[in-house]
Amino acid sequence: MRQPAVRAACHRALEARERILRDYPRWEDWRAEARAIKTEAISRLDELLARLTREVEAWGGQVFMAQDAAAAREYILEVARRHQVRQIVKSKSMTTEELELNPFLAHAGLRVTETDLGEFIVQLAGHPPAHLTAPALHLDRGQIAAIFQERLGEACEPEPVPLTRMATRYLKPLYRQAQMGITGVNFAAAQEGALVLLENEGNLRLTATLPPVHLAVMGLEKVIPALGQVEVFLRLLPASATGQRLTALVHFIRGLKPHPSGKQAFHLVLLDNGRGQLAQEPELLEALYCLRCGACLNVCPIFQVGAAHLYRRVYPGAIGILLAPYLAPKGDISDLCTQCGACTDICPVKIRLAEMIIHTRRGSARLRPWRFFSQAAGLGLAWPRMYRRVEAGLRLLPRLPLKSRNFLGLALSRQSFYKRMEDKREMEKGEKGKRDKSSG
């Protein structure tokens, strides 16, 4: 993991966002508006999904509600078999990562190729995506060139332009060879049965247009009441994700697309996989407002250390912590937060991320054994005089026979942490001086 590269990439994304925001005096109004729309949508989830289903079916699409990942995978495989699909092209979709769709389809004998450049790179590398919007963030150009050489059997100059062109050359024929294209969905307007998909590379358009079957997968929280309401999200999402006014392409799908062989078949998979249960939790349901912009990742000091791989889950960062107990496979990663609150400040839909992580921690079985210590620490910190006396008392304790690197050994040291580090640095400097003298 190239920590400096991850941190640098996060900072570049944040700078781009800041540049755009200077032109957006109504940013806070838009955040409030977006939050209100999402609040309404989640409170009317069943009604909106029923309307969306009716409208999409009315224009010829087929809709499947999948209660869990297994049901979604089976449906997708059944569609593939019905259309004699052997090859699939796929544009970037975190929801399909959640389904672990690629290994499942590969196991069934289908060839699946990711077409977003970052996803294509991590697919070849065999890595999970490192970021919601920048999957190959953790790899540098040299590593990518080596991966291409090994997996595509062709040497390439380790520079971004030739590497991108090489990937494009490889992918181009696959769009026409594939019998099915799989995409995600960013927003679904129930009233019009319209699906809104954002992208930058043009691969999504090719994936959704050229194969004879288009299948889109969306988490059910992507539904909004009406198309007119997408306006505010089109401003917030690209600015927060990549610092753009708008992504290079925004697609609005409201019908069966033409295809050289006739009309293209269209399937929409609505995925629950724990979202319905989350929608019943008054304290936590706003995690379903998330736009997957990744801004909370870019600003997170823990994410900057290890990217998504640190969390070992599809959804990392603050939003990943909130989704982990609900989205299968369920988990608990609520310790991966410093409570700095930067995620709450940056979230374009004003999700109270830090506050909700505290709530998640309260329910965490994994953290239960530590609760006594945190409550005792809280009590001590609430009474500064008591804290100072306890601290002074602890420092008077004889040094315990613990290794110096042990946390308790450090905590009960007679010296402050800062003084210990200063002494250590001085010692290292002295040793280096001695070595230099002896070698000179």
325 lies in the site for another protein, by CB under 8 A:
no
Give the nearer residue to another protein in terms of CB position, either 156 or 180.
Answer: 156
Q: Sign (positive/negative) of CA torsion 8, 12, 17, 21?
A: positive
Exactly one of 182, 253, 290, 343 binds another protein (CB under 8 A); that residue is 253
Exactly one of 118, 219, 274, 320 binds another protein (CB under 8 A); that residue is 118
Binding segment for another protein (CB under 8 A), chosen from 97-105, 238-246, 303-311, 360-368, is 238-246
Q: How far is the CB of 86 from another protein (least distance, A)?
A: 21
Exactly one of 210, 293, 324, 356 binds another protein (CB under 8 A); that residue is 210
Q: Sign (positive/negative) of CA torsion 292, 296, 299, 304?
A: negative
Give the nearer residue to another protein in terms of CB position, either 158 or 276.
Answer: 158
| Amino acid in the structure at residue 111 | R
Give the nearer residue to another protein in terms of CB position, either 143 or 413.
Answer: 143
Exactly one of 14, 249, 410, 412 binds another protein (CB under 8 A); that residue is 249
* Spatial contact of 185 and 173, defined as CB atoms under 8 Å apart: no
Backbone φ, ψ for residue 179 (5° rounding): -95, -10
Tell me, residue by residue from 257 to 276, as one string, x for binding to another protein by CB under 8 A and - for no binding. xx-x----------------
297 lies in the site for another protein, by CB under 8 A:
no
Give the nearer residue to another protein in terms of CB position, either 161 or 382.
Answer: 161
Count Cα atoms within 13 angstroms, Cβ side, for 37: 27
144 lies in the site for another protein, by CB under 8 A:
yes
* Spatial contact of 214 and 265, defined as CB atoms under 8 Å apart: yes
Q: Would you tell me the crossing angle of helices 3-21 and 230-242 to the nearest 10 degrees?
A: 140
Give the nearer residue to another protein in terms of CB position, either 189 or 287.
Answer: 189
281 lies in the site for another protein, by CB under 8 A:
no
177 lies in the site for another protein, by CB under 8 A:
no
Cα Rg of the chain, angstroms = 25
Spatial strand order of the sheet with 62-66 comes to 62-66, 265-271, 213-219, 180-183, 87-90, 111-114
Contacts with another protein: how many residues (CB under 8 A)?
59
**Residues near 93 by Cβ (< 8 Å), separated by ≥ 6?**
182, 183, 184, 217
Q: What is the phi-psi region of residue 262: left when phi exceeds 0, alpha when psi lies from -120 to 50, beta otherwise? A: left
**Residues near 272 by Cβ (< 8 Å), separated by ≥ 6?**
65, 66, 67, 68, 220
Binding segment for another protein (CB under 8 A), chosen from 71-79, 222-230, 342-350, 418-426, is 222-230
Binding segment for another protein (CB under 8 A), chosen from 159-167, 327-335, 386-394, 422-430, is 159-167
Q: How many of the other CB atoms lie within 10 Å of CB of 267? A: 22
Contact positions vs another protein (CB under 8 A): 5, 8-9, 12-13, 59, 115-118, 121, 134-136, 140-141, 144, 160-161, 163-164, 168, 171-172, 176, 192, 194, 200-203, 205-206, 208-210, 227-228, 230-231, 234-235, 242, 244-258, 260
